[in-house]
Chains A and B, each alone.
Chain A
Amino acid sequence: MPRTKENAYEEFVKGLWRDNPVFVQVLGMCPMLAVTNSAINAIAMGLATFFVLVGSSLLVSSLRRWIPKQIRISCYIIIIATFVTVTDFTLQALVPKVHKELGAFIPLIVANCMILGRQEAFAAKHSVRLAVIDALGMASGFMFALFTLGAVREILGEGALFGVSLFGADFEPWIIMILPPGGFLTLGLLLLFFSWVKERKQQMIARLAEAEGEAQ
């Protein structure tokens, strides 16, 4: 029992950091670069993806015995597309302002390879519980990444966060940061930071192992 519990925790946490869909797996770049020009858009996109991913994983995992192997990808796409359309209409009805901003990118969630990837690599092979936990972790990791990028770009590009001005009127916004190049720049720097952290960690582990070896 304790093993499965730990397992579940592990499945959740891996999506947040070690296997972060954006910073480590570098998946789902289209929405990543397109809608992160403000923190609020990034969060809205993150939530939409969250709903689609968790819903699809739940369904794919519970139907995994009935989906023939030969047509599994088509089935996954149908399931994902249904969730995306539901999200699209719901956002349009409940928060039309957000929908107007995200516009064309909501339907494109269907093509987010991160979501299809989780179905094929995880949900189709694991129990419903683990699949949902994995989806929760991955979706949170994706949202975290979107928010980081959106916040950095909004702060530098508009001098504001969530539309609240941070630096006063004297700040000259770096407009490039909310334009497409700013997305690439920020993402590149964040990826650099993540691989730097990873490298340092590996070095530290290696050093620890060495020290332990000497001690014995």
Chain B
Amino acid sequence: MTSESNTTATGSEPTSARLVLTLSLAGLLSGLIIVTIFEVTLPTITAYKAQELRKAVFKVLPGVASMKRLVYRDGELSHSDEELPEQEAVYGGYGADGQLVGYAIPAEGPGFQDTISLLYGLMPDQRKVTGMEILASRETPGLGDKIYKDADFVASFLSLAIDPEIRAVKKGRRSAPNELDAITGATISSKAVVRIINQANDQWLPRLAPSSPRGANDAEN
């Protein structure tokens, strides 16, 4: 099948210099190609990510007309579109009248197999979660991936009390506004989602206290 003998044209031993030169040239060309394709595709990729995030924010915060990226700096929240790695950001959602409705908070933590990263809507003055959207996860297909495929589970975050903390309970045992049914067969993944939200609440609630400048006199549903 592959009976042809060696056809590499160079019969004699090539010098080391030539080997180094060939490999460097190959690496250089490869690098050039990769940089070019990276530059060409970057705007599309960034735009898609921004659009996905926007969609998610509008999904977890009902009745929102516009959003603003807020960073927590020196003890207060301020508007900033600049992405700095050491800063933590949330997204403020505003109603048609410009009043603050709530915050969409990105959070992540360990799942069953890999990090789950999600976005959830929070109305601090009403002390409830208003929606949850999984942004990235690698949970077991068919079981753990129900954290975003199971409509009932996702819907249970639509109005969920956060005090004293959210709890995932066995299916059908839900008895309090801060409890939700865990998914049968995906208890670990369900609890991971709940734990991620609880931890993010612990971190963000003091910062987003209802006494914050715009949230105080908000009485929207």
Question: Is B22 within 8 A of A81, CB to CB?
Answer: no
C-alpha spacing A69/B38, complex, angstroms: 31
Q: How far apart are B7's CB and chain A's nearest CB, in angstroms?
A: 6
Other than the given A78-B26, A92-B45, A96-B52, 14 more pairs (CB < 8 A) read A65-B9, A67-B8, A68-B18, A68-B22, A69-B10, A70-B19, A71-B23, A79-B30, A86-B33, A93-B48, A103-B138, A125-B2, A126-B4, A158-B142
Given contacts A85-B37, A89-B38, A92-B45, contact A67 B22 (CB under 8 A): yes
Question: Is B26 within 8 A of A79, CB to CB?
Answer: yes
Question: Is A175 within 8 A of B10, CB to CB?
Answer: no
Question: Is B38 within 8 A of A81, CB to CB?
Answer: no
Given contacts A68-B19, A175-B142, contact A96 B45 (CB under 8 A): yes
Beta-carbon nearest neighbor of B14 in chain A: A68
A residues with a Cβ closer than 8 A to B are 14, 19, 37, 64-72, 74-75, 78-79, 81-82, 85-86, 89-90, 92-94, 96, 100, 103, 121-122, 124-126, 157-158, 173, 175, 178-179
Q: Is the interface of A mostly helix, strand, loop or mixed?
A: helix
Beta-carbon nearest neighbor of A76 in chain B: B26
Q: Which of B1-39 contact A (CB under 8 A)?
A: 1-2, 4, 6-10, 14, 18-19, 22-23, 26-27, 29-30, 33-34, 37-38
C-alpha spacing A122/B23, complex, angstroms: 21
Q: Which of B152-183 contact A (CB under 8 A)?
A: none
Residue B141 interfacial (CB < 8 Å): yes
Given contacts A75-B22, A93-B45, contact A82 B34 (CB under 8 A): yes
Beta-carbon nearest neighbor of B32 in chain A: A82
Question: Is B45 within 8 A of A71, CB to CB?
Answer: no
